[in-house]
């Protein structure tokens, strides 16, 4: 039986790719760079992803990721940014202001309210995540919001989940399902925490890692079918 679901935010409940593209375009325009291409945005996304993966492996701190990704991006693209830290600050504000729901995420979590406990588990920054969850309405259906900056440990570290388990006291680990799009953060984090892992994999990528995946879904609403089977 599953009695609690831990939801990742970026790339799972919300379409991070759209927010990322909007934020980068807007911030570049603020410093006078209005000529950009989809290829440039994709190159930034690759740099960003590599920095976050380094964080998950414990090779970088959060601040090194947030500023370092833009330092690398501007250097590789030969672009001038007068204040990279200010650029990142502006980007974080925009991520919190402009968000895009993934599929019917809000309706889904609303429909599950009362059936299971629901929590958010995210490595995103406090400012961006708190704003997105409040403005999207997703936060209204959560029994807990857990952000790595506030906990002091990043997913996939097992320590990230300690306060989650405190909030869900009385619910066994095998009754907790984590749903996320990242093998290296969400699924490995679920492995490390000893909970049930559901990989949200809309593009049908292959798992070439040693990470255990108990369930794999293409659409978020497939979670309902998993609950129906395990709660029968």
DSSP, res 186 = I
Confidence at residue 176, expressed as pLDDT on a 0 to 100 scale: 98
Cα–Cα distances (Å) from 77 to 26, 33, 39, 41, in that order, read 17, 12, 11, 11
104 catalytic, yes or no? no
CATH 3.40.50.1000 spans which residues of the chain? Answer: 4-15+100-230
In terms of CATH architecture, what is 16-97?
A: Orthogonal Bundle (1.10)
10 catalytic, yes or no? yes
Which is catalytic among the residues 10, 80, 83, 210? 10
Please say whether the dihedral angle defined by the alpha carbons of residues 131, 136, 138 and 141, taken in this order, is positive or negative. Answer: positive
Scored b (16 or more CB within 10 A) or e, 154-168 reads bbbbeebbebbbeeb
C-alpha distance across the termini of the chain, in Å: 8
Confidence at residue 232, expressed as pLDDT on a 0 to 100 scale: 64
Measured distance CA(164)–CA(143) in Å, rounded: 10
**CB contact at 8 A, 87 and 69:** no
CATH superfamily of 4-15+100-230: HAD superfamily/HAD-like (3.40.50.1000)
Measured distance CA(25)–CA(197) in Å, rounded: 35
Cβ burial, residue 41 (10 Å; 0-12/13-18/19+): middle
Confidence at residue 99, expressed as pLDDT on a 0 to 100 scale: 85
Per-residue pLDDT of the chain (232 residues; tens, 9 = 90+): 999 999 999 999 999 889 888 999 999 999 999 877 889 999 999 999 999 899 888 899 988 999 999 999 999 999 999 999 999 999 988 888 888 999 999 999 999 999 999 999 999 889 889 999 999 999 999 999 999 999 999 999 999 999 999 999 999 999 999 999 999 999 999 999 999 999 999 999 999 999 999 999 999 999 999 999 987 6
Measured distance CA(20)–CA(229) in Å, rounded: 36
206 phi and psi angles, rounded to 5 deg: -90, 145
Which is catalytic among the residues 8, 80, 104, 228? 8
Confidence at residue 136, expressed as pLDDT on a 0 to 100 scale: 93
Confidence at residue 173, expressed as pLDDT on a 0 to 100 scale: 97
């Amino acid at each position: 039986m599953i009695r609690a679901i831990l939801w990742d935010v970026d790339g799972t409940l919300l379409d991070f790719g759209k927010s990322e593209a909007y934020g980068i375009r807007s911030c570049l325009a603020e410093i006078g760079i209005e000529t950009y291409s989809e290829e440039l945005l994709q190159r930034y996304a690759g740099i960003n992803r590599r920095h976050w993966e380094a964080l998950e492996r414990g090779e970088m701190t959060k601040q090194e990721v947030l500023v370092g990704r833009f330092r690398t991006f501007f250097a590789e693209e030969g672009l001038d940014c007068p204040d990279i830290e200010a650029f990142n600050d502006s980007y974080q504000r925009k991520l919190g202001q402009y968000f895009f729901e993934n599929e019917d995420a809000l309706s889904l979590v609303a429909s599950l309210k009362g059936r299971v406990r629901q929590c958010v588990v995210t490595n995103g920054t406090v400012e961006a995540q708190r704003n997105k969850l409040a403005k999207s309405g997703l936060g209204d259906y959560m029994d807990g919001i857990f952000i790595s900056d506030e906990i002091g440990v990043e997913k996939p570290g097992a320590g990230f989940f300690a306060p989650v388990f405190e909030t869900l006291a009385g619910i066994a680990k095998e009754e907790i399902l984590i749903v996320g799009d990242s093998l290296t953060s969400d699924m490995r984090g679920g492995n490390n925490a000893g909970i049930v892992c559901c990989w949200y994999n809309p593009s049908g990528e292959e798992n070439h890692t040693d990470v255990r995946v108990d369930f794999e879904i293409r659409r978020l609403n497939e979670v309902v079918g998993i609950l129906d089977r395990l709660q029968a």
